[in-house]
């Protein structure tokens, strides 16, 4: 059976440059997304609490990432009309389906930290060959 380019894009082939799944993979593969999903694992969290839980994230990056996750339907933003206004973030149904795969990545990173660190150290101290001219 021959499939058209449009059918391939609709079905999803992240190896194609024009496939929308690439944008989804960019979103869920982002380190801040992984950490935000983990921080929202147990339920709704206020912005300030998210910032405390995720060390090293700037206010701007947290805001941008949360907006992207909300746009993608992975996070729900709820505004409570109080003084001062209270805003909470929570995973949507779709966002909750990411918890297990992203938790597996987190656990893999923890389990293999020593090996990866040793490889990085060895690589950084080895004589590096000149860049391959075919990679340009």
Q: Mind listing the pLDDT tens digit for each residue in 50-108?
A: 999 999 999 999 999 999 999 999 999 999 999 999 999 999 999 999 989 988 988 99
Q: How many CB atoms lie within 10 A of CB 47?
A: 16
User: What is the SS3 assignment for 98?
Assistant: coil
The Cα–Cα gap between 81 and 87 comes to 9
The Cα–Cα gap between 21 and 27 comes to 10
For residue range 4-18, what is the model confidence (pLDDT) as tens digits? 555 544 567 888 888
Pairing between strand 86-91 and 75-80? antiparallel
Which residues share a beta bridge with 90?
76
Q: What is the pLDDT of residue 9?
A: 47
Q: Is the pLDDT of residue 3 over 80?
A: no
């Amino acid at each position: 059976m021959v499939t058209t380019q449009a059918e391939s894009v609709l079905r999803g082939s992240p190896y194609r440059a024009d496939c929308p799944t690439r944008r989804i993979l960019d979103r869920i593969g982002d380190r801040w997304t992984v950490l935000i999903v983990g921080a929202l694992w147990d339920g709704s969290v206020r912005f300030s609490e998210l910032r405390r839980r995720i060390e090293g994230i700037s206010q701007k990056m947290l805001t941008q990432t949360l907006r992207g996750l909300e746009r993608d339907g992975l996070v729900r933003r709820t505004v409570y009309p109080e003084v001062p206004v209270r805003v909470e973030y929570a995973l949507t149904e779709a966002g909750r389906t990411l918890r297990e795969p992203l938790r597996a990545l987190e656990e893999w990173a923890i389990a293999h930290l020593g090996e990866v660190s040793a490889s990085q150290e060895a690589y950084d101290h080895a004589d590096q060959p000149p860049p391959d001219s075919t990679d340009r």
